[in-house]
Structure 1
Amino acid sequence: MQHSAASEKADVVIVGAGPAGAVAARKFVEDGYRVVCIEQGDWPDYTESHVADEYLELSAGKQWNPQPSVRQAFSDYPIDTTESDVEPLIWNGVGGSTVMYAGIWMRLMPSDFRVRSLDGVADDWPLSYEDLAPYYEQIERDFGVSGYPGDPAFPDIDAYPMKPAPIGAAGRMMAEAHNRLGWHWWPGSNAIATEDYRNQGACVQRGACMWGCINKSKASPDVTHWPDLLNQGVRLVTRATAQEIETDSRGLATAVVYVDGDGVTRRQEADLVVLAANGLGTPRLLQLSTSKRFPNGLANGSGMVGKRLMMHPFATVVGVFDEKLDPWKSVWGQPIYSLEFYETVKERGFVRGAKWNVTPTGGPQSMTAAFPWGGKSIWGERFHETVRERLGHSLAWGIVAEDLPEEHNRVELDHSTRDGSGLPGVKMIYRTSKNTKDLLAFNVDRAAESLREAGASQTIVAPMIRETGWHILGTATMGNDPGSSVVDGYGRAHEVPNLIIVDGSTWPTSSGMNPTPTIAAFSLRAAEHAVAQRGSQAVAS
């Protein structure tokens, strides 16, 4: 490895170019800050890795696979999941994991911020829904969200930038079933453009949202933010692996040390350090950043860095129908969703709830995959008949279950493995709680009931799918008490005043919602607060 080199000092250095990092970068650069962003991956390739539209499903097997252990890209670090019930799904690169998300866009509910007050478990957030509401509104404009306002189950969402995507035959079928059952449903809100919008093209409903949108309709920051940010003067360093956050004798952050794409170790000095490296990458970097003052990792005086990992265990229930549904002709996000079983009803025997969304089952290759078919192989003498029954005639309810924080679920450094730059990998220790298992079982039964009401000839249950760890939350939790949390309600580390964490690792509870909108809204609020406090901000000399 070559010798260390220093870069020109910045006002802000951000680690991670996903939604949290891009949102923070936009706020800082618009307020006149000199911003550098360090990203260990590279730009997504929407061209060479897609042979042609009709082969989109094939590209999901390797370069667009969301599992780092399968993809094995240069930017991926080892993740030991031998003691985890769920596999993490992340994408390291410009745009972050939203490059591979479905685009489902849901705000948290007001109750999600008050779980301790309402249900006597976990912790309340040190902020409320009302605190985030104006930031949600701005973020929805920035990410080009389409939807239909007025859901009576939600707070006051007055408008979305664009009309919703068509709910399609599958959405209509399930909406009619819920009308008969008297259960809630609503047209889906998605970060998918239904018309040409800023940097996004109008969705043509290829149904391939989760392995790269070649039409750039899906709102990932490599499309919505970074082209503009580069023009505004943000310096983006790709293929750069952060090794350590340095601090001075007062415990203030001074620089991020990283290895660039040529193997040169560099230091990026800045007055503010912003972490946006997701629920695995952020605790990993904090744990790597040890010193005499912080022997157990940076900002870890509470001992909470890496603890309270939450993963949103996910289940699906598939319905197979005689009717032709053509589920690949749609957005892969959520044509419709249901919040019928979202809030706590104590008589059910568990606390909290789940959000459902209709999920397409995909094209020919998807008919043979483990997801969402319960993990059972269909190879055998009825193979052709099974594919014929499923293909174009099936849909699924995807069930996102709230996962409560538990300290034994955690992320640790794994010194037995090394990434490409020689740094330790991580070990995930995660076991699903009884409350989550009971919650999922209840919702699986109700979803099967919903599909039968819609006329499904058979239902296929995947009660909890291992390869569904899209949402990695809670490993640098926020709170008012420095003894039991890592950061405050604005993402500022209690022990390091010029270190701000803006990704999902800060969440005290997981909610039952897809987290990207709240991660982005929180990042905007945190960056705005940092700008407002600039005059009194302590920085290293």
Structure 2
Amino acid sequence: MASILIVGSGASGVHFALTALNKGHEVTMLDVGYPQPMPPLAEATFNELKERLDDPVAYFLGTSAETVVYPNADAKFYAFPPSKGYVFAAPEEFKTRGPGFEPFISFAQGGLAEAWTGGVYTFNDDDLSEFPFEYAALEPYYQEISRRIGISAAKDDIAQFSPFGGDYLEPLRLDAHAERLLERYATRRSHLNRHLKFYLGRSRVATLSRDHRGREACDYLGRCLWGCPRKSIYAPSATLDELHTRAGFRYLPGFLAEHFSYESNGRVTAVEATSLEDGQRHTFTAERYVLAAGTLCTSKIVLDSIYRNTGRVERLHGLMDNRHFMMPFVNIGLLGRPVDTSTYQFHQLALGIQAEEAHAYVHGQITTLKASAVHPIIQNLPLDLRASLQVFRKAHTALGVANVWLHDERRSDNFVTIRPVEGTDRTELVITYTSEPPGESQRVVGVQRTLRKALRQLGCFAPSGMTRMLPPGSSIHYAGTLPMTPRPTPLACSPSGQSYDFENLYLVDGAVFPFLPAKNLTFTLMANAARVADIMS
């Protein structure tokens, strides 16, 4: 069996590794690997944390109040808390720039999905129409990943857009807000489906409704945003823990993989990485090499490798990112109700809006704001602080936000490249994302109009002035720079993830997607990585 070197411990990397180990390969994983801090007071609820922590202000807002959201017409209504800071920390050696594009990059153990909200949706044949395979090729791997991570879901109206797996766990307990929305939807379903092409159902989440593979079921502590102390919400670091128990696996944290060397025939001979402990460069060899560092980091490694070996500065065209907006709303029937934070805090409902073109399906998730920071909401109310606080206390239980994503397509004027950093032998990653898919501005207006109408039918009011169209990069769903193609193409890979340029190099993260549906992509990243590992074997 082959020796395999994987770069990255994110969702793609760990599931490629587990599948490869199951096939008998020896696997070495190279990773920066910033670890997760231990969550404090593991048994405490959200409200108890505020009372029992020695310094609750530091925990919830940061030691220097770095997560305070200041008044800004473009600010999000909630953001990543200080406890997730390690997810987005970056080595000094890694540089990036991208005017107008706000990238999120992770070097943590488990990668960006250490800070995700657990949404798992299968791509259907419409979503995969530009991929070099159909849903049937991914289905067994969706099932395998489902068995590994545990998915809580219900078979409802969302199933027609995202095929439903037979291994799913029973759904989580609904809070009063989500329950009311579903009840209203049931009475208006026919009208919403027929006239607005709007569908509502339960979110599919990688959060446990019962104990599974050493992780505990959700106990409704209300701490989801701040970090689940029970590991009920799946994170790739859980699979990394499992990998540590397996013979044939070696994990090497503390190394920033920068480029690989290759022969004139394109065969990779080694990966060069910098030790973050002493700054020394080290060389690692294997028979096969796998890049699972995330779309942007994988792209930089490929670009740096070409530059180091040939002196050429290439561009990787076709960068994609889901455009994303947040629409806050008030559920009128819940005004004045007491707040209950002993519930699941992330999205409990998923929405879909059909488009004329099937691949342009719009995906969204509804979160009710119960245990998030309140100041970003209060400061956006058109009142003074005292009045805003009084209004907020009456409206807290009734508040919700719909996060909505649109699809994206590869376009040549959206690309990544590198630029040498003066005075060093390193480069910085340069991101250019300037064009939208044709007709997207009108599409966004239409989707927002449809969603407001649907929310009104559900007994809610969505103030138009508070909807936020977030800047490119904010979705954290990046793809398309080294796409899978059915025929050999430069700077691309085969349907089996094998690079057309480098014969023993495999690509298994979002860089290989030739199209980016609106749905959350992490489930498909994991399934595709397992598929590639299986084919390689």
Gaps of 5+ in 1: 1-8, 115-123, 298-302, 532-541
For 2:320, give the aligned amino acid: M
- On the 8 A contact 1:20/1:502 being kept in 2, the answer is yes
> Is the counterpart of residue 491 in structure 1 residue 497 in structure 2?
yes
Q: Secondary structure at the match of 1:36?
A: strand
Change in 2 beyond 3 A, CA 1:270/1:393:
same
- The equivalent of 2:84 in structure 1 is 64
Distance of 2:408 and 2:328 partners within structure 1: 22
| Alignment-derived partner of residue 147 in structure 1 | 153
CA distance in 2, matches of 1:432, 1:112: 21
- Where 2:416 maps in the other structure, the secondary structure is strand
2:13 corresponds, among 8, 21, 26, to 21
Q: Give the conservation status (yes or no) of the 8 Å contact 1:478–1:485.
A: no
- CA positional deviation for 1:509: 0.6
- 1:57: Cα distance to partner? 4.2
CA change 1:480–1:62 in 2 (3 A) is same
Q: Secondary structure at the match of 2:478?
A: coil
Mapped to 2, the partners of 1:164 and 1:131 lie a distance apart of 27
Letter in 2 for 1:344: E
Q: Deviations over 1:346-402 (max 9, x none)?
A: 9xxxx713112112324362x2227xx997898756432343244222011111111
Higher alpha-carbon deviation: 238-247 or 467-476: 467-476
Q: Give, in angstroms, the shift of residue 472 of structure 1.
A: 1.1
- Residue 241 of structure 1 is aligned with which of 228, 234, 256? 256
1:160-199 → structure 2 map (5 Å cutoff): 160-179=167-186, 180=188, 181-183=191-193, 184-199=199-214
Q: Whole-Å Cα distance in 2 between the matches of residues 76 and 150 of structure 1?
A: 48
Is contact 1:169-1:325 (8 Å) kept? no
Q: Deviation at 1:451?
A: 2.0
Counterpart code for 1:398:
N
> TM-score, normalising length from structure 1?
0.83
1:227 paired residue number: 241
**CA spacing shift, 1:188–1:239, aligned 2, 3 Å:** same
Deviates further, 520-529 or 173-182: 173-182
1:320 corresponds to: 330
Which of 300, 305, 310 does residue 284 from structure 1 map onto?
300
2-side partners of 1:99 and 1:49: how far apart?
Answer: 20
Q: Deviation at 1:446? A: 1.6
Counterparts of 2:480 and 2:413, CA distance in 1: 12
Q: CA deviation digits over 1:202-255, x for unaligned, max 9?
A: 1123444344322211111111x1122111131111121012111123210111
Report what 2:447 is aligned to: 443
Given residue 229 of structure 1, which amino acid in structure 2 is its aligned partner? L
Match of 2:22 among 19, 25, 30: 30
List aligned pairs for 1:42-441, cutoff 5 A: 42-47=34-39, 53-54=49-50, 55=56, 57-58=60-61, 60-65=80-85, 68=88, 72-74=89-91, 77-84=94-101, 87-114=102-129, 124-149=130-155, 151=157, 152-154=159-161, 156-179=163-186, 180=188, 181-183=191-193, 184-223=199-238, 225-233=239-247, 234-262=249-277, 263-290=279-306, 295-296=311-312, 306-322=316-332, 323=334, 324=337, 326=339, 328-339=341-352, 341-345=353-357, 352-363=360-371, 365=373, 367-369=374-376, 380=385, 382-416=387-421, 423-433=426-436, 434-441=438-445
Equivalent in 501, 514, 531 of residue 525 of structure 1: 531
Is 2:512 the partner of 1:506? Answer: yes
The CA distance in 1 between the partners of 2:282 and 2:21, in whole Å, is 23
SS in 2 for 1:110: coil
1:13 partner amino acid: L
Amino acid across the alignment from 2:167: Y
1:35: how far off? Answer: 0.9
The alpha-carbon distance between structure 1 residues 157 and 382, as it changes in their structure 2 partners (threshold 3 A), is: same
Aligned counterparts of 1:469 and 1:417: Cα–Cα separation in 2: 32
Q: Name the SS for the 1:193 alignment partner.
A: coil
Looking at structure 2, the residues matched to 378 and 260 of structure 1 have their Cα atoms a distance apart, in angstroms, of 53
Tell whether the 8 Å contact from 2:87 to 2:108 is kept in structure 1 after alignment.
no
Residue 98 of structure 2 aligns to a residue whose secondary structure is strand
State the partner residue of 1:455.
Answer: 459
**Structure 1 residues 44 and 354, CA gap change in structure 2 (3 angstroms):** same
The secondary structure found in structure 2 opposite 1:289 is: helix
Residue in structure 2 matched with residue 121 of structure 1 by the alignment? none
SS in 1 for 2:476: coil
Equivalent-residue separation in structure 2 for 1:377 and 1:231 (angstroms): 55
- Write the distance in 2 (CA, Å) between the matches of 1:432 and 1:207: 40
Which secondary structure state, in structure 1, belongs to the residue aligned with residue 463 of structure 2?
A: strand
CA contact (8 A) 2:259 2:272 kept: yes
Q: Distance in 2 between matches of 1:506 and 1:325?
A: 47
SS in 2 for 1:320: strand
Whether 1:480 aligns to 2:486 is yes
Cα gap change, 1:458 to 1:495, in 2 (>3 Å) = closer
**Structure 2 SS opposite 1:216:** coil
Q: What one-letter code is carried by the residue in structure 2 that aligns with 1:270?
A: A
Checking the alignment, whether the CA contact within 8 Å between 2:316 and 2:491 is kept in structure 1 is no
Conservation of the 8 A alpha-carbon contact between 1:325 and 1:393? no
Any idea what SS the aligned residue of 1:527 has?
helix
1:263-322: CA deviation from partner (whole Å, max 9, x where unpaired): 22111100000000111101111111026875546xxxxx6x632111111112111234
Q: Give how far 1:130 is off.
A: 1.2
Q: TM-score, normalised by structure 2?
A: 0.83
8 A Cα contact 2:5 2:290, kept in partner: yes
- Report % sequence identity: 20
Tell me, yes or no, if the aligned pair for 1:76 and 1:92 is still in contact at 8 Å: no
Q: What secondary structure is seen at the aligned counterpart in 2 of 1:306?
A: strand
The separation in 2 between residues aligned to 1:343 and 1:483, in whole angstroms, is 31
CA contact (8 A) 1:10 1:268 kept: no
Q: Which consecutive residues of structure 2, in runs of 5 or more, have no partner in the other structure? A: 51-55, 63-79, 194-198
Q: Which amino acid aligns with 2:241?
A: P
> What one-letter code is carried by the residue in structure 2 that aligns with 1:148?
A
* 326-335 or 31-40, larger mean C-alpha shift: 326-335
Q: C-alpha separation between the residues in 2 aligned to 1:529 and 1:374?
A: 53
Change (3 A) 1:458 1:251: closer
1:199 is paired with a residue of what secondary structure? Answer: coil
* Residues 88 and 374 of structure 1: CA distance in aligned 2, closer, same or farther (over 3 Å): farther
Residue 537 of structure 1 corresponds to none
